[in-house]
A and B are shown apart, each in its own frame.
Chain A
Amino acid sequence: MLISRKFSMLLIGLLLLTVSGELFATPREEAIKSGFIYNFARYSQGKWFNASHQHNYNICSFNLDFVVTATKTLLHMKVESRPVNLILLTKDNVDLTSCNTLFISKADTDIWNTMEEKQHFPNMMLVGEFDGFLASGGHINFFIVSGKIRFEVAPKRLRKSGIKMSSKVLRLGRVYEERAQ
């Protein structure tokens, strides 16, 4: 009885600890996400990236931590023989013209919400990591289940942006269906 009471206390303690706030991404989490983003590009085809006209495959983000981690993780990686390059965006200088992938981190939700043209980014893969990202026009959204990273995809919206993602990748993700995609 004593033992079962102690275990009950442990369980209660565990549940009370769930009131903690959300945790921001660790470098390891960001490194894994950057690996996914690299693979999304590798396993996609379409006019969003033309290797014969671009010297790099550019992944853009407003998040300095992500850019630093991804730069190191994706060092020497290539998409269609073009080196992967990370570009740090700032609130004051949002020049998306050279971006092939735009990653919106959880910390940059406010910036995303102020970007009026987000529904109409042509030739750009939009990747995020927060609730409502797909509903607000994103293409791919990361989420975490049991300590592992998974993703959901809006394939119709990807196609509208000129991106055809491999069916093998789509099968790994959760397909987001929206009436007015």
Chain B
Amino acid sequence: MEITRAMNSLRSKHHHYFAMFMLVFSSQAIFFNQAHAESEAVFDDLPSLDFDSLMAADIQVTSAMKRLQNKSDTAASIYVLTHNEIIQSGVTSVAQALTLVPGMQVRKLDNNQWAITSRSTAGRHSSKLLVMIDGQSIYNPGFAGVYWEAINVPLYDIDRIEVIRGQGGLLWGSNATNGVVNIITKHTMDTRDNLVQVATGTKQDYKADFRVGGDLSNYSSFRVSGGIEKSDAANKSDRELSANDDGKKQNINARGDINISDDLSLLAQFWYNNIDMGQNLRLADLNTNLATAVVDQYSLDYLQLMTRLDYRLSSDSNQMLQASFSSQRGDQAYYRDRFLTTDIDYQMNTLIKNTQFDWGINYRYTDVFIEESDYFSNISNVNHYDHFGGFVQFQFNLVPDKFKLIVGNRSERNSFTGWEHQPMVRFLWTPASRHSIWGAVSQGVRIPSFLEYNNMARIHSAYGIRTDIVGSNDIDAEKSVSKELGYRYSLSDVEVDVSLFHTKARNVLVIEPNVNDTFTYITYNFLSEGELTTYGGEATVHWRPYQRLSTELGYSFTSYQYDLPEGTEEAIGYDSSMRQIMAKANFELTNDHQFSVIYRIEDGEAYDTRDYAVLDVSWRWQVNEMLTFSLTGNNLLYGKHIEYGNSGEAYTIATYIEPSYLAQITATF
């Protein structure tokens, strides 16, 4: 009774009236008069009362930024990699951090290059995975993938990495049919100290990073961070050449969070990464057309600028406007590209009684320059790509705290294939407080990459005949319909998470070989006429038997089956299945000594490699308040192995991934 009276008293304070000034905002006025929709659920949704959870908690149930609200409240297969786990595991890059996520396919081509995805075969140049840093997509429109080696976000600045396996993140953007990786960096208010970190190891000559953080007026803050890194080559390559995968990376980043008021904040961020690395390539000899191994030194420059305005309209409504610009430049022996991309995003989230209403609009424009070379040429005069559109999503709490129905759609028009639609329907049923069951049916879209649409690429031939892969302006977007079902059980020290999926895709990219009449020229033409069925699942059990010991067991299975039109071949992957078993443990021996152990078994024929297992162990010692020392061993016990042998998908010649050790000292002051 007292609580009800108090709530009513509180409600009376919240009658804000705003002038309507344009149509899109007129609807908001209705929401401002909504009484607080928060009920007893306020307390159910709260994080635990430990400091870390409270620091991470949003004061609103809605959140304008593209990120998860609450793991237990999400009808999708999700995994959240926390800052603590990233640091304790001793990983040194975002790509390596993803090896900690059960169900992620993470394969190293060499010491620098990665092929990463989920629920599918990962490729160096194909992933169907939307990767974002603070809501800004870093998807490369050239080859529809990500240069993982160019993501140099300092791990100590990462708040968490949210991973959605499957089509759960469709509303965050296109090309997310296999999943979403959302890297969320810390607010600068939480990084106001200074940090210096140095590391060296058997594969790393040196790695030195720094961060300078501080306060600005009115609770605003900033940080500047950067680093330099030099790594060694492997001892053994897959082919006749010596391994050449040494590298040098440097990056500088800056971020400012301007707190205009409690309800309005401005984020401005700048990233610049430069990498210069060696690789061995398998290219066509220009005289004989036979395969020849080439030693190459390649470089990438990556610059990003982003600003975001977050505004809390009321206790139940907020909005975000984000504008970003990125420039990517790559220079490899066979391929030189440059992309200039401008993105504008607007998003609004509102809670109306028991219904959350989210909508947004977005626009992207990319200037493309792919230099014609002996290996690459343009088919037509296409030098830009753009898309625009929007999304809308309703989350109906049909039975409060018991049954939630989520309906949404993203529609976008792109300059390659026109309008594409990604509808979805999801449910989340909580029959008892610790149990929840979710399900989803959704359609995802993958827009053809620039290479598939507008380029011709020369490749080697076993017959010594000139051979080209030829893109097509008539290519359609790949459309996949996915059905998912999941179950979660959550107790204070035990969590169980199981997901099953079945995805059927049409308009899948395939290759049609053609030989001319004189047998002097072979073309592999891209067509969008295949069908692909994938099915499988992921299961994770997290158990914390003692306060100081946390364990996790993960299992995933994916089957991948093509249905090809006659006379065509697979373009990405081939009929195969993959299994992964992962066991993780984090143990705090004392307050100052922590151990992390990760054991992973990778099984299956998808990458044309032997099955392998890796053991990663890390010890972290908090020497004093200022100083931390860590020692990490990767790929222990089982010696060197090849993780990516699928030569049909990458020019890069894989090297053996060897055991390695890294020692690191971090000072904060």
Binding site for B on A (CB under 8 A): 3-4, 7, 9-11, 13-14, 16-18, 20-29, 31-32, 35-36, 38-39, 43, 64-65, 67-69, 72-74, 77, 143-150, 167, 169, 171-172, 174
Residues 187-216 of B, flagged 1 when their CB comes within 8 A of A and 0 if not, give 101101100000000000000000000010
Task: Assess whether A27 is in contact with B263, with CB atoms less than 8 Å apart.
Answer: no
Residues on the B chain within 8 Å of A169, using CB: 51
B310 an interface residue at 8 Å Cβ cutoff?
A: yes
Q: Which residue of A lies closest to B58 (CB)?
A: A147
Using A26-B59, A174-B192 as known contacts, list a sample of 9 further A-B pairs with CB atoms less than 8 Å apart, ordered by residue number in A.
A20-B313, A28-B42, A29-B59, A35-B49, A38-B49, A39-B51, A39-B54, A143-B259, A174-B219
B240 an interface residue at 8 Å Cβ cutoff?
A: no
Task: Assess whether B45 is in contact with A150, with CB atoms less than 8 Å apart.
Answer: no
Q: Which residue of A lies closest to B19 (CB)?
A: A16
Residues on the A chain within 8 Å of B492, using CB: none
B566 an interface residue at 8 Å Cβ cutoff?
A: no
A58 CA to B54 CA, complexed, in Å: 21
Task: Assess whether A148 is in contact with B321, with CB atoms less than 8 Å apart.
Answer: no
- Say which one of B1-9, B100-108, B164-172, B647-655 lies at the interface with A: B1-9
Task: Assess whether B625 is in contact with A167, with CB atoms less than 8 Å apart.
Answer: yes
Task: Assess whether A17 is in contact with B25, with CB atoms less than 8 Å apart.
Answer: yes
A72 CA to B2 CA, complexed, in Å: 12
> Which of A3, A17, A22, A38 gathers most chain B CB within 10 Å?
A17
A38 CA to B182 CA, complexed, in Å: 32
A179 CA to B215 CA, complexed, in Å: 18
Minimum Cβ distance to chain B for residue A126 (Å):
19
A72 CA to B313 CA, complexed, in Å: 27
A150 CA to B346 CA, complexed, in Å: 26
Task: Assess whether A28 is in contact with B61, with CB atoms less than 8 Å apart.
Answer: yes
Given known A-B contacts A147-B63, A147-B318, A20 and B55 have beta carbons under 8 A apart = no
B interface: dominant SS: mixed
Of the A-B pairs whose beta carbons lie under 8 Å apart in the complex, a sample of 22, sorted by A's number, is: A9-B22, A10-B24, A18-B261, A22-B263, A23-B263, A24-B13, A25-B59, A28-B59, A29-B59, A32-B54, A39-B50, A65-B7, A65-B10, A73-B43, A74-B49, A145-B265, A146-B257, A146-B267, A149-B59, A150-B189, A169-B51, A174-B219
Given known A-B contacts A28-B46, A64-B6, A65-B6, A147 and B363 have beta carbons under 8 A apart = no
Task: Assess whether B46 is in contact with A35, with CB atoms less than 8 Å apart.
Answer: yes
B619 an interface residue at 8 Å Cβ cutoff?
A: no
Partner of A145, one of B14, B61, B187, B193: B187
A13 CA to B16 CA, complexed, in Å: 17
Task: Assess whether A14 is in contact with B309, with CB atoms less than 8 Å apart.
Answer: yes
Residues on the B chain within 8 Å of A146, using CB: 187, 257, 259, 265, 267, 310
A144 CA to B49 CA, complexed, in Å: 18
Given known A-B contacts A24-B10, A27-B38, A147-B310, A39 and B321 have beta carbons under 8 A apart = no
Given known A-B contacts A7-B344, A65-B6, A17 and B51 have beta carbons under 8 A apart = no
Residues 460-472 of B, flagged 1 when their CB comes within 8 A of A and 0 if not, give 0000000000000
Count of B interface residues, CB-CB < 8 Å:
65
> Which of B3, B6, B321, B388 gathers most chain A CB within 10 Å?
B6
Task: Assess whether A13 is in contact with B24, with CB atoms less than 8 Å apart.
Answer: yes
Minimum Cβ distance to chain B for residue A151 (Å):
10
B638 an interface residue at 8 Å Cβ cutoff?
A: no
A13 CA to B311 CA, complexed, in Å: 12
Minimum Cβ distance to chain B for residue A35 (Å):
4
Given known A-B contacts A14-B309, A148-B187, A32 and B321 have beta carbons under 8 A apart = no
Q: Which residue of A lies closest to B388 (CB)?
A: A3
B315 an interface residue at 8 Å Cβ cutoff?
A: yes
Residues on the A chain within 8 Å of B517, using CB: none
Residues 386-413 of B, flagged 1 when their CB comes within 8 A of A and 0 if not, give 0010000000000000000000000000
Residues on the A chain within 8 Å of B14, using CB: 23-24
A16 CA to B28 CA, complexed, in Å: 13
Residues on the A chain within 8 Å of B215, using CB: 174
A34 CA to B2 CA, complexed, in Å: 18
Task: Assess whether A31 is in contact with B21, with CB atoms less than 8 Å apart.
Answer: no
B491 an interface residue at 8 Å Cβ cutoff?
A: no
Task: Assess whether A27 is in contact with B313, with CB atoms less than 8 Å apart.
Answer: no
Task: Assess whether A77 is in contact with B25, with CB atoms less than 8 Å apart.
Answer: no
Residues on the A chain within 8 Å of B59, using CB: 25-26, 28-29, 32, 144, 147-149
Residues on the B chain within 8 Å of A38, using CB: 49
A174 CA to B38 CA, complexed, in Å: 30
Residues 423-447 of B, flagged 1 when their CB comes within 8 A of A and 0 if not, give 0000000000000000000000000
> Which of B10, B313, B318, B388 gathers most chain A CB within 10 Å?
B10
